[in-house]
Structure 1
Amino acid sequence: MKKMTEFKRHRRLRNSAGMRAIVRETELKTADLVYPLFVVEGDHIKNEVSSMPGVYQISLDYLEEEIDELLKLGIPSVLLFGIPEEKDEAGSGAYDPEGIVQKAIRQIKQKTSELLVIADTCLCEYTSHGHCGLIHNGDVDNDASLPLHVKTAVTQAEAGADIIAPSNMMDGFVAEIRQGLDEAGFAHIPVMSYAVKYASAFYGPFRDAADSTPQFGDRKTYQMDPANRLEAMREAQSDIEEGADFLIVKPALSYMDIIRDVKNNHPVPVVAYNVSGEYSMVKAASLNGWIDERAIVLEKLTSMKRAGADIIITYFAKDAAKWLQEN
């Protein structure tokens, strides 16, 4: 009998569902997920975002119902975005102690201590021009904007936020916010920095949801060039040195290499933001019957974990939690 050529039998570890499960290297859990919420001024408002099927802007009278659903599903965290009734050039609604996000934080905390509340700390939803800071000579004034971001963070912490998540990409924003929180008596509140945030085309649907489209120009002078990798490492290192406790990479799908680089180089939790465009593309394909939405979403979120993400911010959190319970 002719001797077979020697080769590796990798399929031995794939030959049954039980075998595949016992050797699985990456596990996606509901506890990994953060659900973004868009809260608006007014009453009896539940507006579905046209470009994000299944995602809603809700008024505070619907917030308790939303929180009940998240708790039932076992989703441990929310990321809050606010849409005010009025906007101005300085984005004053962001740091108003009675602003929409501050009200939402207090309402959630009065209802439950089980849910971690992460406050997005930026001005873009609140400025009349849609940019993330004060405008001077047609561009965002970095240093003049920082005190407003600090005021926003402090009012959010005073309202009861568990984590402050500054997303403005100003130079020095983590250092200033960390100092501001410490001086205000919130040294125990961690900072989840949007450390690596690219000037991405994947954000389009979010701007519908948050009503934050820039009224002129773009955000390329403060968000990163998608072509750059080493710059991401410099941004992450700066934020660690300035006091960041978590590092966000945004977007996720086209930036898996960056997620892995950040994870390999920094011993803090890494957060992948599965952004609106990534969500909407899957939803559109699913609604057209072109893909298996459940299989695609779970594969995609698992790949983010495999790339190095410890936490995933995703609009699919509710669906993913239901599917994971069924598995």
Structure 2
Amino acid sequence: MSFPHVRNRRLRSSQALRNLVRETSVSVNDLIYPIFVTHGTNIKEEIPSMPGVYHYSLDLLESELAEVAALGIQAILLFGVPETKDAKGSSAYDPNGIVQKASRKIKELQPNLLIVADTCLCQFTDHGHCGVVHYDEHKGCADVVNDASLELLVKTAVSQAEAGADIIAPSNMMDGFVYAIRQGLDEAGFENVPIMSYSVKFASSFYGPFRDAAHSTPQFGDRKTYQMDPANIREAIREAESDVVEGADMLMVKPALAYLDVIRAVKENFDLPLVAYNVSAEYSMVKAAAERGWIDEKTVVLETMIGFKRAGADLIITYFAKDIARWLKD
């Protein structure tokens, strides 16, 4: 049958009726909030390219964590900005590194708040790449060495778990990183610590503000030899499949907004919880447009979150998490 017997607008006539038949929803339980911690004292510095996002020293974390917990957000994604850097990113796996110190502090202040530790080397290396760099004299260029990088990533993951991280989130895109980290965690007695893998991480232009925040811009070249080509979706499925086989507990697609088709494809092929990372430029573009009065920030953000969920995401990492939590309460 068709019009006039079928009238689809009948189910849209009031807010209550629209709520009753709503197919997709966003909950505060879906949200993971990124936090940047740094050395020093009395530091709360706004990141210029990310309005409303700050670097925090450990002594000023308490009020921020209290606000996060009061809003009902149950997990944070922890990034550290180190005091020193070297070629092998040794402060990433230092027991007294910034992420390790912050994890212990967070567990003291908010023991029920889940810490998702970003496990990578780029913030901690002086060259800004996600692994060990080797200069090939024959080729006349530098390259990121895969297997040697895995050893350092395992040390980093174990160090983070020892400091109190509840979830390890490796973001480096080395081949075999999930297998290596899973084996390392198990051997260290952390077999119950899950891995949230950055399974499908594209070499994207949407990371610019984050690199400003994490001080992780590559000092030479780019990351296209290990992060994915934005044009490839079949490769994305292969990457996700590798992580499933190697023991990942959760999968991730990063970025999210320009890759909704990838989120849907991963969801249709695998039954693990799926995370969408609403990355820094996606955040900053909305903030910039809202500041100029071009868009309504609240409605645009909530519509975007619905889009992530509708595409298949179970969880969303977003710098808007606190705002969303407030709007959902209202």
Please indicate the TM-score interval, normalised by the length of the shorter structure: over 0.9
Partner Cα separation in structure 1 for residue 172 and residue 110 of structure 2: 29
Deviation at 1:45, TM superposition (A): 0.8
Query: Is 1:281 matched up with 2:285?
Result: yes
- Superposed counterparts of 1:316-327, under 5 Å: 316-326=320-330
- Superposed counterparts of 1:38-53, under 5 Å: 38-53=36-51
Q: CA 1:179–1:290 in structure 2 vs 1: closer, same or farther (change >3 Å)?
A: same
Please tell me whether the aligned partners of residues 277 and 318 of structure 2 are also in contact (alpha carbons under 8 angstroms). Answer: yes
Of 215, 219, 223, the match for 1:215: 219
**Runs of 4+ residues deviating >3 angstroms:** 4-7
Q: Indicate the residue corresponding to 2:62 in structure 1.
A: 64
Partner Cα separation in structure 1 for residue 57 and residue 227 of structure 2: 30
Partner Cα separation in structure 2 for residue 46 and residue 121 of structure 1: 23
Deviation at 1:174, TM superposition (A): 0.2
| TM-score between both structures, scaled by the size of structure 2 | 0.97
Q: Indicate the residue corresponding to 2:169 in structure 1.
A: 165
Of 1, 18, 25, the match for 1:20: 18
Amino acid of the structure 2 residue aligned with 1:92: S
**How many residues matched?**
323
Partner Cα separation in structure 1 for residue 124 and residue 6 of structure 2: 59
Query: Is 1:225 matched up with 2:229?
Result: yes
User: Tell me, what secondary structure is at the counterpart of 1:300?
Assistant: helix
Q: Deviations over 1:221-277 (max 9, x none)?
A: 000000000000000000000000000100000000111111111111000000000
Query: Is 1:258 matched up with 2:262?
Result: yes
Amino acid of the structure 2 residue aligned with 1:22: L
Amino acid of the structure 2 residue aligned with 1:239: D
Identity %: 67
Q: CA 1:136–1:303 in structure 2 vs 1: closer, same or farther (change >3 Å)?
A: same
Partner Cα separation in structure 1 for residue 124 and residue 113 of structure 2: 25
- Structure 2 residue ranges without an equivalent (≥5): 136-141
Amino acid of the structure 2 residue aligned with 1:208: D
- Superposed counterparts of 1:146-161, under 5 Å: 146-161=150-165
Amino acid of the structure 1 residue aligned with 2:10: R
Partner Cα separation in structure 2 for residue 122 and residue 114 of structure 1: 24
CA RMSD of aligned residues (A): 0.9
Of 276, 280, 283, the match for 1:272: 276
Q: Deviations over 1:94-113 (max 9, x none)?
A: 00011000011111111222
Amino acid of the structure 2 residue aligned with 1:117: I
Please tell me whether the aligned partners of residues 37 and 80 of structure 2 are also in contact (alpha carbons under 8 angstroms). Answer: yes
Q: Indicate the residue corresponding to 2:53 in structure 1.
A: 55
Partner Cα separation in structure 1 for residue 253 and residue 195 of structure 2: 14
Amino acid of the structure 2 residue aligned with 1:237: E
- Structure 1 residue ranges without an equivalent (≥5): none
Q: Indicate the residue corresponding to 2:79 in structure 1.
A: 81
| TM-score between both structures, scaled by the size of structure 1 | 0.98
User: Tell me, what secondary structure is at the counterpart of 1:171?
Assistant: coil
Partner Cα separation in structure 2 for residue 7 and residue 292 of structure 1: 37
User: Tell me, what secondary structure is at the counterpart of 1:34?
Assistant: strand
